[in-house]
Structure 1
């Protein structure tokens, strides 16, 4: 019995039925909302992305060679947390890039059996709760980002890498914790020194 994932991968174009968590347009990058929503990307080595020599780059769809890019801006005073997650066959790994430069790779997962039913997980939160699935979490400072990536490791079927996968991204943003200004911090340290001195004199008496 083939897995759900292989059935999905073989049905070229059928991913329109398995809708993206947040739809991508082949004409433009998706803008990530910082609300914890999941955005999906796909990999299909049978297709070479437009203007890219790497057939393992993230794509909009199994039958759409448009590169998948995810853009967002983190405002000053805030910090972002970007999660990148594998939802193909457990064990797949991804290189993650910002503005075309690698910023890291997802963790080593546990290779699943592509022929087993349920070896892929369509629900992102279920995959996130399963440690077999590769993931990475990046803490991002204020600034503009253009996230893309590619498949760096693929589980094997009959000894050969499948080079077909799915994954997702999730962005959350929070205000940076208030940090005392240097002058305030200096005053605080001076006050603590005086208090320490007074306590020592009292104990000496």
Structure 2
């Protein structure tokens, strides 16, 4: 084996610099000790549709069952990991990519990962799904008519966007591509949060992610 001047092995031309390590403890083992299957629950929808509200209630219900979870909220991520990103289409794509990579690492830890962010483009949501194995990604469309989202306007964002104060605002000056065939479709203008959270837990039981009665 060739060595460099400091005695370390020298890489041959074309040799990969980064390689995946062989791990003794894997995803299945980490999830097994938690008594659950790992899963990414990806909640997408317009601002004001109720994504964070539903995600928070789902996590609370799982926590009360002793499940191991993590909630990645789009707004909270922009205080740290994604604080350098704006709201252009390119920045939104990168926002989803980073979030998906973090969610994948947490999946490897055996967690049920709840992701709540607008994620407006179908292609990026599809790429997030492709990062993980079959059955490890649940796309949940948290849906409310834009008129209802504007009426709620919990952060005053629609009013500011309509006044021209916020450029590239999804649903006003930037498009939202609704899922064509989501794994779960939750209509927050029709059902209350308790009912919708229970629907998510029912789906997790159906998929064998968690066991036990409702």
TM over 0.5: no
**Which structure has the larger Rg over C-alpha atoms?**
1
Per residue, is there more helix in 1 or in 2? 2
